Chains A and B, each alone.
Chain A
Amino acid sequence: MEDQYYPWGGEFTSCNKNSCVAVVLLTTDYTPKNNVAIFGPLKTENIGIEKVVANVISNPNIRYLVICGEEIRGHRSGSSLIALNKNGIDNQHRIINAPGAIPYIENLNKEAIERFRKQIKVVNLIDVKDKDKIDKKIEEYINKSPPPFGKPYIAIKIVPKITSLLDDKRALHSKIIINYIGKVKKRGK
């Protein structure tokens, strides 16, 4: 679902755009009430986190990110998202002290990450099973009703340059050339 508030799209449900709470669902069958701004699942500790970050900073009303459900095994996406909020990324774009297997942020620039760290306070409810407790916590943060964090920040997706042209006779890829019967050889050899 893509809309003007969440231009990166993804698998999420948007509810009250003026709400200050967004909810990330790890492994859980819990569904938040419709007084939150947006909620949706998080699976991976890299591309998944990038989408969550882009889709919360684009709505300045969102100030709290509640992470709930059982942690995603191996990926540890919930804990990696918390680590990103707390520590940011290193020079190799790895989330500092993230426990996930491949916690790299490559499609967001540093400015977007800093915005996320400043705009959002993470509420860690990982492994909390009591749904009433989660509801109550969400309610508690909604009632704080903090002011919006300035203007919407639309994160620009970093896309690698593609240099192929329509009249390019290279097949598939610049490193190889394929003749009419399908013989592949390295380009330039």
Chain B
Amino acid sequence: MFSFTKEQKIFDISGVKIGGQPGLHPTVLFGGLFFKGEPDFDNAKKQIQKMLYLSYKTGNPGIPDFFIKKEEYIQKIINFIEKTLPKNYPFSIDIIEPDLKIKTLSYLYKKKLLSRTIYNSIHIGIKKEEFETLKKFTPTAAIIVAFNPKDKSPDGKIEVLENGANLIDNGLLNIVKNIGIKNVLIDTAAMAPGENSGASIAAIPVIKEEYGLPTGCAIHNVVEKSKWLNEFKKTKKVVDASSNVNISLFGGDFAIFGPIENADMVFPIIAWQDILISEYTQNYFGINPDENHPRRKLL
């Protein structure tokens, strides 16, 4: 359990506070909606309502992370977001395909939703067209993935943020600055077992001390890629949900978990962990938990 010397930035993303010293704000939990095939919006609505209830109970903010994989789903998913989420509630969009990113940004602008959008994500694959579109249609926040294919250590992650690691001509933080995105979250890029998977956790305090920015990752991806766990089906889900405690324990601010169906396990586990951290950091570093912290809501 840590406290940082570097001043820690706190962002208010459409009502959700993220960042700061460990123990101040509850860990923000991004729940992934992956939509296998045609989106099932009835189930999505049910899952989001469940997550919002868990968020209300524990104090841990829950942000739905919408995975968009086909052009034909862009409008459907964004219209669903507009209709279903509480007024001004933030959400993130998770898109791999560069063309879809551009089209989605333009539609979010048209629907006046960019002030609630967390763009997931910007990484070394960014090209001129995506950069220009982001400049034109700038979301309120973006997740920067510190993925460095040649060096997966904390050093390598810092290198892509700082100077692009000779993979691109500019550091990712400069790119984001040039776009003009105000609220920057750093994702430490969790890798598969065998690919320095632990570095995504070890990098959290390094990046927090270096930049003071809210930091986290999608550590559950490491569990998903641990094929040997398939033999232990029941345990796998528990490992998946509990893997997220590593993030808060190492001073992180957010966890991207998935799928959203796991919210009923992830929220209580992280709320428990946040209480543990808060009791320590208050005693040793004088950090008073925010009024929505699980320690205030649940004890």
B283's nearest neighbour on chain A, judged by CB, is A181
Chain B residues contacting A181 (CB-CB under 8 Å) are 284-285
With contact pairs A93-B167, A184-B251 given, residues A175 and B154 touching in the complex (Cβ less than 8 Å): yes
- CB of B285 within 8 A of CB of A173, answer no
Per-residue interface assignment for chain B, residues 80 to 107, with 1 indicating a CB less than 8 Å from any chain A CB and 0 otherwise: 0000000000000001111010000000
- Considering the chains assembled together, what is the distance between the CA atoms of A39 and B251 in angstroms? 42
A11 to B228, CA, bound (A): 11
Interface assignment of B62: CB less than 8 Å from any CB of chain A: no
| Interface pair A184/B285, CB less than 8 Å apart | no
Q: Once the chains bind, are A104 and B96 in contact (CB under 8 Å)? A: no
A14 CB to nearest B CB, Å: 16
What bracket does the count of chain B residues touching chain A fall in?
35 or more
Contact A92 B156 (CB under 8 A): no
A147 within 8 A of B: no
Shortest CB distance A171–B (Å): 9
The reply to whether B2 and A101 form a contact with Cβ atoms under 8 Å apart is no
Residue of A nearest to B97 (CB): A74
Q: Does A178 contact B (CB under 8 A)?
A: yes
Quick check: B5 and A185 within 8 Å, CB to CB?
yes
Q: Would B4 and A184 count as touching, CB distance under 8 A?
A: yes
For residue A107, which residues in chain B have a CB less than 8 angstroms away from its CB? 149-150
Task: Determine whether the beta carbon of B154 is less than 8 Å from that of A182.
Answer: no
Assuming the contacts A74-B97, A102-B124, A176-B209, asked whether A183 and B149 have C-beta atoms less than 8 A apart, the reply is: no
Which residue on B lies nearest to A76, using beta carbons?
A: B97
Given A101-B125, A104-B167, A175-B206, do A73 and B149 touch, yes or no (CB 8 Å)?
no
Which residue of chain B is the closest to A72 with respect to CB atoms? B96
Set of chain B residues within 8 Å of A173, measured between Cβ atoms: 154-155, 202-203, 205-206
- Are A74 and B95 closer than 8 Å at their CB atoms? yes
Cβ contacts A140-172/B at 8 Å (1 or 0 each)? 000000000000000000101010000000001
Q: How far is the CA of A183 from the CA of B205 in the complex (A)?
A: 10
Contact A184 B2 (CB under 8 A): yes
A157→B194 CA distance, assembly (Å): 12
The reply to whether B98 and A101 contact each other, CB–CB distance below 8 Å, is yes
CB-based closest 4 A-B pairs: A74-B96, A106-B150, A185-B5, A102-B125
- For this complex, 21 residue pairs linking A to B, each with C-beta atoms less than 8 Å apart, are A11-B227, A47-B191, A73-B69, A73-B96, A73-B97, A74-B100, A75-B96, A92-B166, A101-B97, A101-B98, A102-B124, A102-B125, A106-B149, A106-B151, A172-B202, A173-B154, A175-B158, A175-B210, A176-B205, A182-B280, A185-B5
**Residues in chain A within 8 A of chain B (CB atoms):** 9, 11, 46-47, 73-75, 92-94, 100-107, 158, 160, 162, 172-176, 178, 181-186, 189
Apart from A47-B195, A106-B149: 19 A-B pairs, beta carbons within 8 A: A73-B97, A100-B125, A102-B123, A103-B125, A104-B150, A107-B150, A160-B153, A160-B156, A172-B206, A173-B155, A173-B202, A173-B205, A173-B206, A176-B206, A178-B205, A181-B285, A182-B280, A183-B285, A184-B208
